[in-house]
């Protein structure tokens, strides 16, 4: 699901001929509650948690009328030094803290991260789909 921020930028670009400046970096986040297109969700919290940069994304083939982008490098979050709140969604932001929500999806399975664990998203595990 794309955020209102991205939707507005795309519409401004194509309908109002405004230039879009892409973000200089993208950051992977875990969310406790639904981010919603308006970015009203609650991010995971706990000792050691922080967003991490996404270092590689690639376009996949158009399949069944959908274009996808996926990660080409493993995404490794920091090791939890204390238990984190439950993660139910992932999100991509344009800043390490604050910033604009770009896109998000529900996790296939909720994640409980305990002290000493280090969550990872393997190559191809993060998939953004444009219908």
pTM here is 0.94
- The pLDDT value recorded for residue 61 is 67
Contact status, residue 53 vs residue 120, Cβ threshold 8 Å: no
Q: Roughly how many angstroms between the first and final C-alpha of the chain, as a whole number? A: 10
- In degrees rounded to 5, what are phi and psi of residue 104? -160, 165
Greatest Cα pair distance, the chain, in angstroms, is 50
Beta strands in the chain (DSSP E): 27-31, 52-53, 57-59, 67-71, 75-76, 87-93, 101-111, 120-121, 127-130
Q: Sign of dihedral through CA atoms 70, 102, 29, 27? A: positive
Tens-digit pLDDT profile for residues 20-31:
999 999 999 999
Contact status, residue 91 vs residue 29, Cβ threshold 8 Å: yes
Tens-digit pLDDT profile for residues 41-85:
999 999 999 999 999 999 876 778 889 999 999 999 999 999 999
Bridge partners (DSSP) of residue 71 are 57
């Amino acid at each position: 699901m794309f955020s209102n921020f991205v939707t507005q930028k795309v519409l401004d670009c194509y309908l109002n001929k405004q230039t879009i400046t892409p973000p200089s970096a993208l950051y992977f986040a875990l969310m406790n509650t639904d981010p919603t297109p308006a970015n009203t969700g609650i991010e995971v919290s706990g000792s050691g948690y922080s967003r991490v940069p996404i270092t590689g994304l690639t376009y996949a083939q158009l399949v069944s009328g959908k274009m996808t982008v996926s990660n080409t490098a493993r995404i490794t979050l920091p090791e939890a030094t204390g238990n984190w709140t439950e993660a139910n969604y992932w999100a991509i932001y344009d800043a390490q803290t604050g910033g604009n929500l770009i896109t998000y999806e529900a996790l296939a399975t909720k994640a409980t991260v305990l002290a000493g664990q280090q969550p990872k998203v393997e190559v191809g595990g993060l998939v953004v789909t444009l219908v």
